[in-house]
Chain A
């Protein structure tokens, strides 16, 4: 499918980005402008297949393929009648057969296979099971019941929490008022100086607050979400970020392995006149970062390193 577009006015999504396709029971799409135009009277024939359709049955196309929309429509209609629940069957096998049958009906209707006979089948089923359909219509399946229950529980919990908060706020207010009154009483009747009284009250208020904050326990949290997932589950799996404390790096000099006599150091090379005996470094070479000491050192290292090399096995071999 290259480009979504209205089959009637040939407008495409590319030319009109705000294009909205709508679909009806027959599974053919139309853009909303064409729907407004064609179904001004409320009902008419589908321009594609000629099926009589009503404007109120148009909905916005969600899936790119209108065929899918058609199937969704049919499924909804069929499931309105075939609304038995798992509890209505004796065995799982029977229930699965029943589901299989529904799928076959939907497939047939969506793909125009034996439409008439299938429709008849649905009709007879509806007549035969009129009572049970009506009964099941209002009945909820087990899962739905469970979810309903959870939601209810959550709501209850939240109202309780609200109440508790409200009460504690009220308490606080009362207490403050009482403290204020006590302070004023003290100030009016006590012999102590006003400053002392104020300080005393302040400290007593502070201690009281501390005690209270210790006592007040957090309202117990709900443990289950409405989806049935346990709250707090899985928190144990969040790994604590472990910060490794490494010792601070400190440089340690290394000893070059020589298998030979000591190398002269850089200073010795400079002081003892080694550099007089090698080619002078030209200015352009010095500009490039080359120094005579390095190559002199390299030659000396080559000359001295390995002088003591000796493998024991050699001692047995005869010259």
Chain B
């Protein structure tokens, strides 16, 4: 009865190549769904926290872990703490203690404003709009670099200054200029249709600023990072150091 079974119909594949593509597709789907949103949210928490708190007071390594842990919760991708620290190297119990110890503090310091509007969905919305209203351009072509641009933007302060839709629009325009297709008419005639001249100019200016900001990020050198780290060990507030005896 194998011939009519679900075994043949659904679970027998042509070869290893098909399995490989299936697996990578699955994992890619999963990553797209969560990973980007998570890192965006975590970085926004991190930046917001250090706006009003000093790195000398709270060590960035501790807060980084806490931000990621909290963003997992906020973005509805909950990972239990035991599993979370399994991905870390070093003393896992200590990390778990640190993360749980700082979690409530972090939430308090960001005033419990836990909803983060990431530019990723905005970019998705732009793609949908582009595909619907401007069929001449192959939108999928722009996706790769657009998402790359957003990833880069996470390293800047853009999320603290601009609206997510502006960042997404900048990503779209940066990608289109790289791919050599012109979206100006789409933006002015369709996307921003009905906007006043002043609004139009403002938006264009904002996009320019974002693109400049992302393009001109200063790359971080390992040496400088190490130097700062050493310095920080000397001048950090020992009261907030879980390892210190104070």
Interface residues of A (CB under 8 A from B): 259-262, 272-274, 276-278, 296, 298-310, 314, 319
Interface residues of B (CB under 8 A from A): 117, 121-129, 131-133, 161-166, 168-169, 191-195, 199, 202-203, 205-206, 208-209, 212
Among A278, A302, A306, A307, the most chain B Cβ lie within 10 Å of the Cβ of A307
State whether A308 and B199 are in contact (beta carbons under 8 Å apart), knowing that A277-B131, A298-B121, A303-B168 are contacts in the complex. Answer: yes
In the complex, what's the smallest C-beta–C-beta distance from B74 to chain A, in angstroms? 16
| Residues in B whose Cβ lies below 8 Å from that of A261 | 191-195
With both beta carbons as reference points, the residue of chain A lying nearest to B132 in the complex is identified as A274
Are the C-beta atoms of B165 and A272 separated by less than 8 Å? no
In the complex, what's the smallest C-beta–C-beta distance from B165 to chain A, in angstroms? 5
Main secondary structure of the interface of B (DSSP, over half): helix
In the complex, what's the smallest C-beta–C-beta distance from B13 to chain A, in angstroms? 22
Are the C-beta atoms of A303 and B132 separated by less than 8 Å? no
With both beta carbons as reference points, the residue of chain B lying nearest to A303 in the complex is identified as B125
| Residues in B whose Cβ lies below 8 Å from that of A306 | 163-166
| Residues in B whose Cβ lies below 8 Å from that of A308 | 195, 199, 202-203
| Residues in A whose Cβ lies below 8 Å from that of B127 | 277
Are the C-beta atoms of A303 and B126 separated by less than 8 Å? yes
| Residues in A whose Cβ lies below 8 Å from that of B133 | 272
| Residues in A whose Cβ lies below 8 Å from that of B202 | 308, 310
Are the C-beta atoms of B165 and A305 separated by less than 8 Å? yes
With both beta carbons as reference points, the residue of chain A lying nearest to B130 in the complex is identified as A277
Are the C-beta atoms of A307 and B125 separated by less than 8 Å? no
- List 12 extra interface pairs beyond A309-B163, A309-B166, CB under 8 A: A261-B191, A261-B193, A273-B132, A298-B121, A299-B121, A302-B117, A302-B121, A302-B124, A303-B124, A304-B129, A307-B192, A310-B202
Are the C-beta atoms of B163 and A259 separated by less than 8 Å? yes
With both beta carbons as reference points, the residue of chain B lying nearest to A311 in the complex is identified as B161
In the complex, what's the smallest C-beta–C-beta distance from A298 to chain B, in angstroms? 7
With both beta carbons as reference points, the residue of chain B lying nearest to A298 in the complex is identified as B121
In the complex, what's the smallest C-beta–C-beta distance from B121 to chain A, in angstroms? 5
With both beta carbons as reference points, the residue of chain A lying nearest to B167 in the complex is identified as A306
State whether A303 and B122 are in contact (beta carbons under 8 Å apart), knowing that A308-B202, A308-B203, A319-B212 are contacts in the complex. Answer: yes
Are the C-beta atoms of A307 and B128 separated by less than 8 Å? no
Are the C-beta atoms of A304 and B206 separated by less than 8 Å? no
State whether A303 and B209 are in contact (beta carbons under 8 Å apart), knowing that A261-B191, A274-B128 are contacts in the complex. Answer: no
In the complex, what's the smallest C-beta–C-beta distance from B58 to chain A, in angstroms? 28
Complex CA distance for A302 and B164, rounded to whole angstroms: 8
State whether A302 and B122 are in contact (beta carbons under 8 Å apart), knowing that A308-B195, A308-B203, A319-B209 are contacts in the complex. Answer: yes
Are the C-beta atoms of B129 and A300 separated by less than 8 Å? yes
Are the C-beta atoms of B163 and A303 separated by less than 8 Å? no
**A-B pairs with beta carbons under 8 Å apart, 8 shown:** A260-B165, A299-B124, A302-B121, A303-B122, A307-B165, A307-B191, A308-B195, A308-B199
Complex CA distance for A17 and B191, rounded to whole angstroms: 89
With both beta carbons as reference points, the residue of chain B lying nearest to A264 in the complex is identified as B129
Top 4 nearest A-B pairs (CB, nearest first) are: A303-B125, A306-B163, A299-B125, A309-B163
Complex CA distance for A296 and B212, rounded to whole angstroms: 30
